[in-house]
Amino acid sequence: MKKQHSIFSYKAGNSLIHKLPAWIKILTVPVLNILLFFLPVYVSVCFIIIQFTAASLLRFTLSEQIRDVKVVLYYAALLYITEFIGAFFSKGTDTAIKAVFSDTHTLLMLIKLFCILQSSSIIFKTTTSSEIREGIGIIETALRKYLPVSKKNNFTGLLSLFICFIPEISAIWEKIKYAWYARQGKQSVKMYTVLLPVLFSAGIKKAYNSAKAVAARM
């Protein structure tokens, strides 16, 4: 079985985006994503196309791109199913179907959320954990320089730990699944009942060790 990259995992490269200082990416993406919620939806659609093109030029495969944003598809399914059930019990089947497909507000929100996840994926895939930590450190140092607070960077380690924890947990999950399949295990309900407790235990251990490392550096 071919081993897959985990979601939001770094992918080595020599592109302009890879070389861009991490602190610039860390500042730009959140500001851009916040603006997307206030701008017309066609702006998000344009960014989706631009980001898809950029990701393809960076040699991110289609499966890698989908893997990073498919949580939006699950979220969309959950929203529409919940909305359908609510409308079904109050208005009936025909009205419920019309209500679900005529709700443009949910669709517009999902498009913008998709765009945000897409940009986050590009940042994680072109920035290492150490670069993220250094970038946050540069930002915190600059802020503390002009604020009446301690000049010691106490926030960098905790924030970088939080930001990098998602791809780390995903990497652990991929390793656990890979071991399961290597032992002739199959994807089933049993797989999740067996592996999720292992993931929880491994995740807690990883968080504990990471927190100790951060505390040692502070």
For 126-144, give the secondary structure using H, E and C.
HCCHHHHHHHHHHHHHHHH
Q: What is the pLDDT of residue 160?
A: 67
Examine the domain organization and report whether 14 and 87 are in the same domain.
yes
* Domain-embedded: residue 134: no
Round to whole Å and give the CA distance between 105 and 36: 15
Average the pLDDT over 124-153 and give the result: 82
Examine the domain organization and report whether 174 and 98 are in the same domain.
no
pLDDT in tens, 71-104: 888 888 888 788 778 777 776 666 767 766 676 7
Examine the domain organization and report whether 102 and 165 are in the same domain.
no
**Are 132 and 163 in contact, with CB atoms under 8 Å apart?**
yes
Q: What is the pTM of this model?
A: 0.68
Examine the domain organization and report whether 30 and 118 are in the same domain.
yes
**Are 53 and 98 in contact, with CB atoms under 8 Å apart?**
no
Examine the domain organization and report whether 77 and 183 are in the same domain.
no
* Domain-embedded: residue 132: no
**Are 137 and 153 in contact, with CB atoms under 8 Å apart?**
yes
Separation in Å, CA 118 to CA 79, 155, 162, 172: 20, 26, 19, 22
Q: What is the pLDDT of residue 53?
A: 94
Q: What is the pLDDT of residue 51?
A: 92
- Ranking 18-22, 201-205, 207-211 by mean pLDDT, the lowest is 207-211
Examine the domain organization and report whether 70 and 1 are in the same domain.
yes
Total number of domains in the chain: 2
Q: What is the pLDDT of residue 104?
A: 79
| Structural domain that includes position 187 | 154-218
